[in-house]
Amino acid sequence: MNDAVRKLANIQPAEPHYREAPNNIEAEQALLGAILVNNDAYYRVSDFLKPVHLYEPLHRKIFEVAGDIIRMGKTANPVTIKTFLPADDKVGDLTVAQYLARLAAEAVSIINAEDYGRAIYDLALRRALITIGEDMVNIAFDAPLDMPPQAQIEDTERRLFELAENGRYDGGFQSFNDAVALAIDMAGQAFERDGHLSGISTGIMSLDNKMGGLQRSDLIVLAGRPGMGKTSLATNIAYNIAASYEPEVQPDGSFKAKNGGVVGFYSLEMSAEQLATRIISEQTEVSSSKIRRGDITESDFEKLVACSQMMQKVPLFIDQTGGISIAQLSARARRLKRQRGLDCLVVDYIQLMTGSGKSGENRVQEITQITTGLKALGKELNVPIIALSQLSRQVESREDKRPQLSDLRESGSIEQDADVVLFVFREEYYVKNMEPRLSQEEQQQKDDFDKKGNGHIFISDKEEWNTWNTKLNEVKGTADVIIAKQRHGPTGTVKLAFQAEYTRFADLADPSFTAYEEH
């Protein structure tokens, strides 16, 4: 249809259905101009604005180069910057050098620099949202076999979380300079933090000395046979972290943990009430069995009330959903971090979780999916994840009951994905079960000695029993935490005190018991 026919028919030419991505080139020019005139303007936006947030590629390069020069303590202006930009490029009729001079000449006051920066940042987020939305729609239309709807929801949620947390979602490469800056920041924070730890303190000094605290993004597997106290140790650490939480205000108004942290606890085995009872018992030194039976005195009850009032302020959040999948766990952890903050995650325990894959997968494949998902979640949220794990029964068939890496059930992926593997081992548990039988007369004598409780030591006529009793007294009230794997430090064993009545682990008072290294 030619123009004459269109005119006669009064048909307007169709406008192309094209919408440009949200951007504001003038705001970018105004910000860059302000930075070139007064480098202080850069520090007003550098906390939140990155080169990738600018729309125009040349503006990204100018902002990046200016930032590098300013951080080196030098002056960034049109003369110093132009040598780091391509001299042959043109911006309309202007060379890059002329364009830089024009930006500086037309710069407005740096008072508005932060407002321009915020406008640029918001537009970058809108562009990123459009990209995520387009991808979501296109994938939903295509319905690829390898990405069911649930997986698409999880992927979209992950990308939205990254965008909300970091202002970007694409991941990708970062410069080595940025990585070095992060490492120096971590060292500075460790220097300022109580105990000079690079990670989050567990509240158990001898364990912290060996591990440097819990390192962010690490997957820490805590394993042991039933009855060894792995849940007790995890509960102790979780409460210690939450109880020592000390927030610090960031430049953008958000809060970050200076000491301790906000803890999320997935209790797949015990109810929230049972977990709370354990913690109250540990803190008040009132036996948890007595609390459950109601066999407590008035002073004990006052202790419980005072402890509960104090614990109400502790940022420890418990999810008691049984059989939770790795996808559900990830979604809830992201939500907790967005709403309340999150500095450490505990999962009790791996074998009670389900994978997000097909039901036909065998258990080893499912465990692989779970551990891989936990490792990825730790990196995404930048928090340490303590995941508890059962050990296989082959431990019981050996003479030496100390656990090894090969004892981890479905151990291939657990051992591979974990940054740290800790085993809880209480020799007292096994020695107690090896008590030689006494004659009826000797047993009566022993019971009489026990009832008197006057410091007398019962000595049997049987040498075997006396040897056993000596061994029991050596290991009574102690536990070994075996560091079988640690990416960032040495392996070895840490000797701790264990009070079974209160399910509490603590540092040993006897200085002769020290952690020793294997290599």
177 domain-assigned? no
Instruction: Provide mean pLDDT across the span 469-478.
Output: 75
Q: What is the pLDDT of residue 1?
A: 45
Number of domains composing the chain: 2
Q: Does residue 49 sit in the same domain as residue 143?
A: yes
Nearest to 477 by CA among 419, 432, 416, 412: 432
Q: Does residue 256 sit in the same domain as residue 157?
A: no
Q: Does residue 255 sit in the same domain as residue 393?
A: yes
171 domain-assigned? no
394 domain-assigned? yes
Q: Does residue 131 sit in the same domain as residue 277?
A: no
Q: What is the pLDDT of residue 76?
A: 87
Q: What domain range is 317 assigned to?
A: 199-425+477-517
Give the 3-state secondary structure of 72-124.
Answer: CCCCCCHHHHHHHCCCCCEECCEEHHHHHHHHHHCCCCHHHHHHHHHHHHHHH
Q: Does residue 82 sit in the same domain as residue 212?
A: no
Q: Does residue 130 sit in the same domain as residue 227?
A: no
Is residue 196 over pLDDT 70? no
- The better pLDDT of the pair 193, 374 is held by 374
124 domain-assigned? yes
Q: Is the pTM of this model over 0.75?
A: no
Q: Which of 166, 191, 209 is the last residue of a domain?
A: 166
pLDDT for 28-70, tens place per residue? 888 898 888 888 888 888 878 888 889 888 888 889 888 888 8
> Which of 147-161, 241-255, 347-361, 489-503 ranks highest by mean pLDDT?
489-503
CA–CA separation, 216 vs 384, rounded Å? 5
412 pLDDT band, cuts 50/70/90, is low
186 domain-assigned? no
Q: Which of 166, 181, 213 is the last residue of a domain?
A: 166
Q: Does residue 272 sit in the same domain as residue 142?
A: no
181 domain-assigned? no
- The better pLDDT of the pair 108, 265 is held by 265
Q: What is the CATH number of the domain that holds 329?
A: 3.40.50.300
Are 117 and 31 a contacting pair, CB within 8 Å?
Answer: yes
Q: What is the pLDDT of residue 5?
A: 36
Q: What is the CATH number of the domain that holds 154?
A: 1.10.860.10
Q: Does residue 153 sit in the same domain as residue 236?
A: no
In this structure, of 17-21, 195-199, 383-387, 438-442, the range with the lowest mean pLDDT score is 438-442
Q: What is the pLDDT of residue 505?
A: 84
219 domain-assigned? yes
89 domain-assigned? yes
Q: Show the tokens assigned to 102.
A: 């024009």
Q: Does residue 148 sit in the same domain as residue 278?
A: no
pLDDT for 431-465, tens place per residue? 776 666 665 656 665 655 555 555 555 555 566 66
Q: Does residue 215 sit in the same domain as residue 67?
A: no
Q: pLDDT over 70 for what percent of the chain?
A: 77
Q: Does residue 317 sit in the same domain as residue 416?
A: yes
Q: Does residue 84 sit in the same domain as residue 211?
A: no
Owner of token pair 């003369």 = 79
Instruction: Provide mean pLDDT across the span 399-425.
Output: 79
